[in-house]
């Protein structure tokens, strides 16, 4: 019996990037299906979220993401440019964002074509692994989409024609995410049990084994 789980995932989350390779390998090796639910980053959903956070929150985050990347054997550098533009002096986010809406809608469109997990894997590597500057320019996203078996021009055409419909689907995922048990990403929900964070992957897999996880 194929097991399935919901994955709530954001293009601006380094931890989302760090868990994705393991989720791809899980689906490759085991009879399990990932239901990708693309959501906007917390900075877009709640623009004032970081305004009042303790400064230690950010300094710890920067230390932890590099340690976590080293631990799981993945390269990581904060993206150039950041998928979400931020005023570093005030730690606020302007409402006009040049990148994250396109990325998130592309992720939703890819998911609707049955290629969600592969798409976020290929694109997040381009954004986060540190090998590409200006990932939004040239053919970086085009080639990433091709590696996921998709046509970026066709996806962009859907984004241009149906932004409201895509955003409604994304909002439905954001609503379901809170029902699932957390507001952050990556959030994996298996049989109504939430597993928040890339460091909960092993616990989710352990629970899946208890529920009959089988090799392909």
Interval 18-70: pLDDT, tens: 999 999 999 999 999 999 999 999 888 877 766 777 878 888 999 999 999 99
Strand order in the sheet with 32-38: 32-38, 3-9, 187-190, 193-196
Cis ω for the linkage preceding 36 (within 30 of 0): no
Instruction: Report the pLDDT value the prediction gives residue 133, as an integer from 0 to 100.
Output: 96
User: Does the residue 52 lie in any domain?
Assistant: yes
Q: Give the DSSP H/E element, type plus range, for residue 7.
A: strand 3-9
**pLDDT confidence of residue 193:** 98
Print the domain residue range for 30: 3-210
Q: State how beta strands 3-9 and 187-190 pair.
A: antiparallel
Query: Six-digit token pair at 17?
Result: 């990037």
- Residues 166-192: what's their mean pLDDT? 97
Pick the range with the lowest mean pLDDT from 1-5, 92-96, 105-109, 209-213: 92-96
Average pLDDT of the chain is: 95
78: number of Cβ within 10 Å = 13
What is the C-alpha separation between 145 and 175, in angstroms, rounded? 27
DSSP string, 122-169: HHHHHHHSSS-SSTTSTTHHHHHHHHTT--HHHHHHHHHH-HHHHHHH
Per-residue pLDDT reduced to its tens digit, 81-113: 999 988 767 667 777 889 999 999 999 999 999
Judge whether 88 lies within some domain. Answer: yes
Asked if the structure places residue 73 within a domain, the reply is yes
Which of these, 186, 194, 195, lies nearest to 117 by C-alpha position?
186
The answer as to whether 182 is a domain residue is yes
- Region 123-145 average pLDDT: 98
Is the predicted pLDDT of residue 153 greater than 90, yes or no? yes
Q: What is the structure's pLDDT at 93?
A: 78
**Strands 193-196 and 32-38, sheet pairing:** unpaired
In a domain, 216, yes or no: no
Counting residues of the chain whose pLDDT is more than 90, the rounded percentage is 85
Domains identified in the chain, total number:
1
Residue 31 lies in a domain: yes
pLDDT at 166 over 70: yes
What CATH number corresponds to the domain at position 78? Answer: 3.40.30.10
| 3-state secondary structure (DSSP) of residue 30 | strand
pTM above 0.85, yes or no: yes
Question: Is residue 187 assigned to a domain?
Answer: yes
Residue 180 lies in a domain: yes
Residue 97 structure tokens:
């964002």
């Amino acid at each position: 019996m194929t097991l399935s789980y919901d994955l709530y995932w954001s293009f601006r989350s380094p931890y989302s990037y760090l868990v994705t390779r393991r989720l791809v390998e899980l689906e490759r090796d085991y009879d399990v299906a990932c239901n990708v639910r693309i959501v906007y980053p917390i900075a877009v959903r709640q623009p004032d979220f970081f305004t009042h956070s303790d400064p230690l929150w950010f300094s710890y985050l920067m230390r932890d993401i590099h340690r976590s990347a080293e631990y799981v054997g993945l390269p990581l550098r904060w993206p150039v440019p950041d998928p979400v533009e931020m005023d570093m002096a005030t730690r606020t986010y302007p409402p006009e964002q040049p990148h994250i809406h396109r990325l998130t809608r592309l992720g939703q469109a890819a998911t609707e074509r049955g290629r969600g997990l592969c798409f976020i894997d290929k694109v997040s590597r381009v954004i986060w692994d540190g090998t590409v500057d200006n990932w939004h320019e040239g053919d970086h996203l085009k080639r990433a989409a091709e590696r996921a078996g998709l046509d970026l021009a066709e996806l962009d055409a859907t984004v241009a024609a149906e932004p409201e419909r895509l955003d409604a689907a994304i909002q439905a995922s954001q609503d379901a995410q809170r029902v699932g048990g957390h507001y952050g990403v990556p959030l994996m929900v298996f049989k109504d049990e939430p597993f928040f964070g890339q460091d909960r992957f092993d616990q989710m897999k352990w629970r899946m084994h208890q529920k009959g996880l089988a090799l392909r």
